[in-house]
Structure 1
Amino acid sequence: MLRNINPLLSPDLLHILAAMGHGDNLVIADANFPGEQIARANGCRYIRLDGILATDILKAVLELMPLDDFVKDPAYVMEVVGDAAQVPPVVTEFQTVIDEVADNPAPIAAVERFAFYDMSKQSYAIIQSGERRLYGNIIVKKGVVRL
């Protein structure tokens, strides 16, 4: 047991966050996302956090992990199929978490569904949440930990 660490961050997830390097991507996926299949096919690490909202996981992660400040877009979500301009409520909540918790707040970029899947295939790890809201998926890029 440790102090001052969000209890959503399991030992396996803490290990992943610590092992990730600058520029590595982390996917926080909703319950519908094909996370296990993508991870298995592409050698990504995979963790399930059933019953936990993706927004709560993002908050816990960003309390420990910096967003990359060397790139224009350190966070990506999936565009709504058929209506790229629509911003689902869960994405608005992701932005609020980033604005309130990240040490380097940045606007979230949106990419087409299959582009998001391709980006996920290049990720270091995928966290499969219990998020049931549609489009509750986000990719965040780890930044440099500065002293």
Structure 2
Amino acid sequence: MLKGIPAILSPELLKRLCEMGHSDRVLIADGNFPSHSVGANAHVIRMDGHGVCEILDGILQLFPLDTYTESPVKIMEKVPGDQVATPIWDEFKTIVTKYDSREKAIGSIERFAFYEEAKTCYLIIATSEKALYGNIMLQKGVV
């Protein structure tokens, strides 16, 4: 056991987060995201039974966001015409704002472009999150 480390962060996850360098990205994916096929070249860690928000909050307690880019946090845009509610985005904003005060810290990417960006992530965390469009990508900054 270590002091000051959020309990939700497993030793494997801590190892992978520590391996990441400046500008590397981690995707915390909802339960519908094709984590293993999109993440064929990434490290994929399964965190079944957990939601994206609790993992996001745990990671941001230790993980510096990139200050060299305007929006180091990205979410997937809704498909045009999709009327599904996305209350999880408000939760994302609340959590990110605790750790980064920039107004534009969170940006968005068109769905298929998001999948392409996800293919270049160093790490993908597969969760059991049920919220639709509940995917969030973080770009690591400098400690």
- TM category (shorter chain) comes to over 0.9
Code of the residue aligned with 2:28 in structure 1: it is: I
Q: Which residue of 1 aligns with 2:22?
A: 22
Sort the Cα spacing of 1:130 and 1:137 in 2 relative to 1 into closer, same or farther, 3 A.
same
Q: Is the partner of 1:26 in helix, strand or coil?
A: strand
Decide whether the 8 Å contact of 2:70 with 2:105 is kept in 1. Answer: no
Decide whether the 8 Å contact of 1:25 with 1:125 is kept in 2. Answer: yes
Sort the Cα spacing of 1:85 and 1:133 in 2 relative to 1 into closer, same or farther, 3 A.
closer
Sort the Cα spacing of 1:69 and 1:6 in 2 relative to 1 into closer, same or farther, 3 A.
same
Q: Distance in 2 between matches of 1:103 and 1:95?
A: 10
Q: Number of aligned residue pairs: give it.
A: 142
The normalised TM-score by structure 2 is: 0.93
Q: Distance in 2 between matches of 1:87 and 1:75?
A: 20
Q: Distance in 1 between matches of 2:116 and 2:56?
A: 21
Q: How does 1:32-111 map to 2 (within 5 A)?
A: 32-40=32-40, 43-83=41-81, 88-100=86-98, 102-103=99-100, 105=102, 106-111=104-109
Q: Deviations over 1:61-97 (max 9, x none)?
A: 0000010000111010001112489871111111110
Decide whether the 8 Å contact of 1:76 with 1:111 is kept in 2. Answer: yes
Q: Distance in 2 between matches of 1:121 and 1:69?
A: 22
Percent identity of the aligned residues? 42
Q: Is the partner of 1:97 in helix, strand or coil?
A: helix
Sort the Cα spacing of 1:85 and 1:24 in 2 relative to 1 into closer, same or farther, 3 A.
farther
Sort the Cα spacing of 1:104 and 1:123 in 2 relative to 1 into closer, same or farther, 3 A.
farther
Q: Which runs of 5+ in 1 are unaligned?
A: none
Q: Distance in 2 between matches of 1:32 and 1:86?
A: 15
Q: Which runs of 5+ in 2 are unaligned?
A: none
Q: Distance in 1 between matches of 2:6 and 2:47?
A: 13
Q: Distance in 2 between matches of 1:112 and 1:86?
A: 16
Sort the Cα spacing of 1:83 and 1:67 in 2 relative to 1 into closer, same or farther, 3 A.
farther
Q: Deviations over 1:12-35 (max 9, x none)?
A: 100011000010010000000000
Q: CA RMSD in A?
A: 1.7
The normalised TM-score by structure 1 is: 0.90
